[in-house]
Amino acid sequence: MIKAGIVGGTGYTGVELLRLLAQHPEVVITAITSRKEAGMKVAEMFPSLRGRVDLAFTTPDEAPLKSCDVVFFATPNGVAMQQTRELLDAGVKVIDLAADFRITDIAEWSKWYGMEHACPDLVAEAVYGLPEINRDKVKGARLIANPGCYPTAVQLGFLPLVEAGVIDTSWMVADCKSGVSGAGRKAEIGALYAEAGDSFKAYAVPGHRHQPEIRQGLARMAGHDVGLTFVPHLLPLIRGIHATLYAKLTKDVDLQALFEQRYAGEYFVDVLPANGHPETRSVRASNLCRIAVHRPQGGDTVVVLSVIDNLVKGASGQAVQNMNILFGLAENMGLTQIPVSP
């Protein structure tokens, strides 16, 4: 059995990890940390886990993290980088769900996240954990930078087009919408039901910190820098991301066949039949990404629709997917849940 620890078990990604790992046939959860809630039983805070998780929260200093096989950081940005080196030195594999190790340009990371990086050498070692691109690298890694939610939906949507070299990579547009859980489990006016319900708005249009992560990923696919306009929006939903992606075709290509062939062997990417329109509820509580590709009026613009659950494929599910790869397990082990409907 894989001994797993979770640092930061009280947020939405933390409880989603608990939900998934508690059902995993090859995992035993041995530590869950929270400084504020230390001593409280997990099931007291999250009654959905009664009878499945019997642990209590402990402080990071008291938790037996060094005796784990893998530790997940479901913490705010800037926390994992303070503790990762000590865990790696103890032989523990680390999967960080925050952004501490995603962006390889340290100055760029500091600009967007507003702090100095504590271990830039480990950033160079970390593997970006988007399995559909980096599966082979994930297999031999000690440290995984789990992708962000918007970056996952956008990169999976653009990937077949960029790899095939059939679009103008100097002009790409990602028009994305997310449910309020993407902002985390904290008290903020904008996330209140009376503020977010019955409304729809764009935010961070001048610049969102997922922008450099997405551009970095697309540039790696293309082999050169790319142009990207990324505009996020807030939906009055709890879970879900819908990314509508636009690009200009430079070659005539059977788009449906291109996407179906690229993702033919990918368990967690479902390419819908021609003229499909994926819905966020079709992936809710699952690790799936559902994609449809369109060429409106037969013109030179390609439109890709990509939907994920931001807490699963956009965070905790993808982290478990990476853990499965790290430990040589079937990639879909513990992640075969059917989406919840309605």
Provide the residue ranges of all domains of the chain, joining segments of one domain with +.
2-125, 150-310
pLDDT tens digit sequence for 231-253: 999 999 999 999 999 999 999 99
Indicate if the pLDDT at residue 183 is higher than 90.
Answer: no
The pair of three-digit structure tokens given for residue 34, joined into one six-digit string: 């929270």
**What's the CATH architecture for 2-125?**
3-Layer(aba) Sandwich (3.40)
Measured CA distances, 232 to 86, 100, 146, 163, 290 (Å): 36, 21, 20, 24, 19
* 255-259 long-range contacts, CB within 8 A, separation 24+: 255/293, 255/294, 255/295, 255/302, 256/293, 258/160, 258/161, 258/164, 258/166, 258/293, 259/160, 259/291, 259/293
Bond from prior residue into 342 cis (ω within 30 degrees of 0) = yes
Arithmetic mean of pLDDT, 7-13: 92
The pair of three-digit structure tokens given for residue 323, joined into one six-digit string: 């853990």
Residue 37 binned pLDDT confidence (cut-offs 50, 70, 90): confident
pLDDT tens digit sequence for 275-311: 999 999 999 999 999 999 999 999 999 999 999 999 9
b/e per residue 225-257 (b: at least 16 CB within 10 A): ebebebebebbebebbbbbbbbbbbeeebebbe
What contacts 82, CB < 8 A, 6 or more positions away?
118
Would the pTM of this model clear 0.75, i.e. be above it? yes
What pLDDT score does 284 carry?
Answer: 98
| CA–CA distance, 277 with 273 (Å, rounded to integer) | 9
CB 224 within 8 A of CB 254: no
Arithmetic mean of pLDDT, 94-113: 97
Indicate if the pLDDT at residue 112 is higher than 80.
Answer: yes
Residue 189 binned pLDDT confidence (cut-offs 50, 70, 90): confident
Residues β-bridged to residue 302 = 247
Indicate if the pLDDT at residue 190 is higher than 80.
Answer: no
Active site residues: 149
For the domain spanning 150-310, the CATH number is 3.30.360.10
Start-to-end Cα distance in the chain: 35
Q: Give the DSSP letter string of 184-211.
A: -SS--GGGSHHHHTT--EE--TT--TTH
